[in-house]
């Protein structure tokens, strides 16, 4: 057979096979090409947006004040011509100027198309991350700054206007993080600016704010706000519609620019975020409050930056923790700044005996009430302690002291625990410095603190993964403080608290606290 005929037949067969395969794959190829093109447009448009648009529309497209947000489902499917013309020509009667070169702007057709693609397809939190990486910090968790003249306008609206103005200031300082600048609500808190809330009885609103709402992130504010502040806050919530009806509304702060290469500016950012977002629960300078004290040697010597960052991102991991997740509300730059700010406390942090704070119980009503200075109470002898139960007496204390004899084993004492004693048996998972993690016999993971690092390094005994241990301790902040511990694998015992219930390191404890 002529070789040319054979070549022609093979070529024909090749075409018969390749063309259908190509035709079958072409739709998928075209679809992927469109995805790649959209990605290219969005990637190119993001820096344009951050540099030119974010100051008005927000670093994450959230909108600022009267400027509308662009992270809006209605815009995802908006007509292309509408979006193009709005960007290119601006909008009459608004602050939106024309951005196309033909309208006196700086963008060409291609760049306007890129911005249209951004509005339609972008993942807005990623734009916020990009903005933060360039030092443009969005007001993700805003605390509005209210001018005195604004509050005077609110106060002039009614004979009760002074209470409304005070309540608005309290709301701006303490509530916007969870409930939104204008009471619109968020994933952290419900909407408060609506008729349903205004219909709730005054006494019930006061009770909710005082006591919180169980099984939610709404904690009680009785230990944070004064009664008068709570009453004013309720008055503001009940008359919010009246205030807004007069054109008076809280305005979110604008993004700020910082130099991320300047450590002082980064620390200032961390301080600003902590004071407006974290101090409400963790106290000024991390001193503790509704949440545990963070400015303490217990936390700062045992928690790495990565663990602190993980807690901020993911929220509290312990049962009944009210620590919310901020991973989708703060950018990575902001979270790192908060961690840097917290870490800066370590050189001067004190050893806080009970990091969760002595005010968590709130005290009984009679004790929280203002004392009557004209009716002082004189001391009397105690029926049980014979007058020796005071601060300098010998009454009270752990059970072994009340019984008049010291315990024969560490397990017989409560060890002066700040909370109910807990006995745990389990297996060591890890022991890093003075931080112990074990897997209890009940199947839970327990984190325990073995005294300050300097004490444990001098007086500790080996704890290896897999060792079987028994310990007694009490809950403190996000870990357990240990009274005593027995390594059942090696047979060694260590007592971390004296018979008087004091930490052995505060009484000059040494190697004698470790027994073979």
Domains and CATH numbers, the chain: 3-136 (1.10.760.10), 148-245 (1.10.760.10), 258-348 (1.10.760.10), 409-515 (2.40.50.140)
The model's confidence at residue 240, banded by pLDDT at 50, 70 and 90, is: very high
> CB count, 10 Å around CB of 183?
22
The model's confidence at residue 106, banded by pLDDT at 50, 70 and 90, is: confident
The length of the chain in residues reads 516
Per-residue CA distances from 131 to 55, 320, 429, 470 (Å): 10, 35, 41, 51
The model's confidence at residue 286, banded by pLDDT at 50, 70 and 90, is: confident
Q: What angle do CA 323, 324, 330 make, to 5 degrees?
A: 125
CA–CA dist 63, 180 (Å, integer): 13
pLDDT for position 399: 38
CA–CA dist 274, 277 (Å, integer): 5
Please spell the DSSP secondary structure of 65-83, one letter per residue.
TTBPPS--HHHHTS-HHHH
CA–CA dist 13, 15 (Å, integer): 5
pLDDT for position 508: 47
- Please answer whether residues 117 and 45 qualify as being in contact, where contact means their C-beta atoms are separated by less than 8 angstroms: yes
Q: Identify which has the larger pLDDT, 156 or 124.
A: 156
pLDDT for position 198: 93
pLDDT digits (tens, 9 = 90+) for 5-30: 777 777 877 777 777 776 777 777 77
CA–CA dist 46, 163 (Å, integer): 45
pLDDT for position 137: 62
The model's confidence at residue 373, banded by pLDDT at 50, 70 and 90, is: low
Residue in the structure block whose two tokens are 């203002």: 370
**Confidence check: pLDDT of 197 > 90:** yes
The model's confidence at residue 344, banded by pLDDT at 50, 70 and 90, is: very high
**Confidence check: pLDDT of 297 > 50:** yes
Query: In DSSP terms, which residues pair with 503 in a beta bridge?
Result: 497
Mean pLDDT value across the chain: 76
Strands 514-515 and 492-495: antiparallel
Mean pLDDT value across residues 257-280 = 84
**Confidence check: pLDDT of 38 > 60:** yes
Percent of the chain with pLDDT over 90: 14
pLDDT for position 53: 83
Q: Is 387 left (phi over 0), alpha (psi -120 to 50) or beta?
A: left
Helix (H, G, I), strand (E, B) or coil at 203: helix
pLDDT for position 341: 93
pLDDT for position 365: 54
Report which listed range, 3-17, 47-61, 263-277, is most confident: 263-277
Percent of the chain with pLDDT over 70: 74
CA–CA dist 516, 78 (Å, integer): 76
pLDDT for position 241: 92
Out of 6-20, 31-45, 53-67, 402-416, least confident range: 402-416
Out of 232-246, 287-301, 382-396, 442-456, least confident range: 382-396
- Please answer whether residues 327 and 313 qualify as being in contact, where contact means their C-beta atoms are separated by less than 8 angstroms: yes
- Can you give the pTM of this predicted structure? 0.43
CA–CA dist 87, 49 (Å, integer): 11
pLDDT for position 61: 83
Strands 514-515 and 136-137: unpaired
**Confidence check: pLDDT of 515 > 60:** no
Per-residue CA distances from 172 to 228, 277, 301, 345 (Å): 16, 12, 34, 27
Residue 122 CB-half CA count within 13 A: 30
- Please answer whether residues 99 and 56 qualify as being in contact, where contact means their C-beta atoms are separated by less than 8 angstroms: no
Mean pLDDT value across residues 143-162 = 88
Helix (H, G, I), strand (E, B) or coil at 358: coil
CA 96 from centre of chain: 35
pLDDT for position 391: 31
The DSSP element (H or E) to which 256 belongs, if any, is strand 256-257
**Confidence check: pLDDT of 99 > 70:** yes
Mean pLDDT value across residues 172-183 = 82
The model's confidence at residue 239, banded by pLDDT at 50, 70 and 90, is: very high
Out of 52-56, 203-207, 283-287, least confident range: 52-56
The full 3-state SS of 20-40, as one line of letters, equals HHHHHHHHHHHHHHHHHHHHH
CA–CA dist 319, 331 (Å, integer): 26
pLDDT digits (tens, 9 = 90+) for 456-513: 666 666 788 888 888 888 776 556 788 888 888 887 888 887 766 677 776 544 444 5
pLDDT for position 196: 93
Residue 515 CB-half CA count within 13 A: 11
**Confidence check: pLDDT of 157 > 90:** yes
CA–CA dist 238, 241 (Å, integer): 8
Which phi and psi (to 5°) does residue 314 adopt? -100, -10
Which phi and psi (to 5°) does residue 185 adopt? 85, 170
**Confidence check: pLDDT of 384 > 90:** no
pLDDT digits (tens, 9 = 90+) for 393-445: 333 333 333 344 433 333 333 333 356 778 888 888 888 777 888 888 877 77
């Amino acid at each position: 057979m002529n070789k040319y005929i054979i070549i022609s037949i093979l070529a024909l067969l090749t075409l018969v096979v390749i063309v259908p395969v190509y035709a079958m794959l072409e739709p998928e190829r075209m679809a992927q090409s469109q995805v790649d093109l959209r990605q290219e447009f969005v990637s190119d448009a993001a820096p344009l947006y951050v540099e030119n648009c974010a100051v008005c529309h927000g670093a994450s497209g959230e909108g600022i004040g009267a400027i509308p947000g662009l992270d809006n489902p209605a815009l995802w499917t908006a007509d292309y011509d509408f979006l193009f013309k709005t960007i290119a020509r601006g909008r009459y009667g608004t602050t939106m100027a024309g951005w196309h070169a033909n309208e006196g702007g700086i963008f060409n057709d291609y760049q306007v198309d890129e911005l249209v693609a951004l509005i339609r397809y972008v993942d807005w939190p990623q734009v916020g991350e990009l903005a933060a990486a360039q030092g443009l910090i969005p007001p993700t968790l805003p605390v509005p700054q209210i001018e005195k003249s604004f509050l005077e306008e609110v106060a002039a609206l009614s004979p009760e206007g002074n209470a409304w103005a005070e309540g608005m200031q309290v709301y701006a300082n303490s509530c916007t993080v969870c409930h939104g600048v204008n009471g619109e609500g968020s994933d952290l808190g419900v909407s408060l600016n609506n008729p349903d809330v205004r219909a709730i009885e005054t006494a019930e609103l006061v009770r909710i704010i005082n006591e919180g709402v169980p099984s939610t992130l709404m904690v009680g504010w009785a230990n944070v706000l004064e009664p008068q502040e709570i009453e004013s806050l309720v008055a503001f919530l009940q008359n919010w519609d009246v205030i807004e009806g007069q054109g008076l509304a809280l305005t979110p702060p604008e993004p700020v620019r910082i130099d991320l290469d300047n450590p002082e500016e980064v620390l200032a950012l961390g301080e600003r975020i902590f004071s407006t977002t974290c101090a409400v629960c963790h106290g000024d300078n991390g001193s503790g409050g509704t949440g545990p004290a963070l400015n303490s040697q217990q936390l700062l010597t045992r928690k790495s930056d990565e663990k602190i960052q993980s807690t901020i991102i993911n929220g509290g991991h312990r049962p009944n923790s009210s620590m919310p997740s901020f991973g989708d509300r703060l950018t990575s730059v902001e979270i790192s700044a908060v961690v840097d700010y917290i870490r800066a406390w370590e050189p001067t942090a004190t050893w806080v005996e009970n990091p969760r704070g002595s005010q968590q119980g709130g005290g009984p009503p009679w004790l929280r009430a203002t004392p009557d200075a004209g009716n002082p109470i004189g001391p009397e002898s105690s029926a049980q302690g014979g007058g020796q139960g005071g601060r300098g007496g010998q009454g009270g204390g752990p059970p072994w002291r009340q019984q008049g004899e010291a315990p024969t084993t560490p397990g017989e004492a409560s060890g002066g625990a700040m909370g109910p004693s807990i006995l745990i048996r389990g297996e060591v998972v890890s022991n890093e410095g003075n931080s112990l993690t074990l897997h209890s016999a009940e199947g839970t993971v327990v984190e325990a603190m073995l005294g300050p690092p300097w004490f444990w390094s001098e007086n500790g005994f080996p704890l290896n993964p897999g060792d079987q241990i028994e310990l007694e301790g009490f809950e403190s902040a996000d870990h357990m403080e240990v009274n005593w511990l027995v390594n059942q694998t090696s047979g060694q015992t260590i007592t971390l608290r004296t018979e008087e219930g004091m930490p052995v390191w505060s009484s000059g404890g040494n190697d004698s606290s470790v027994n073979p």
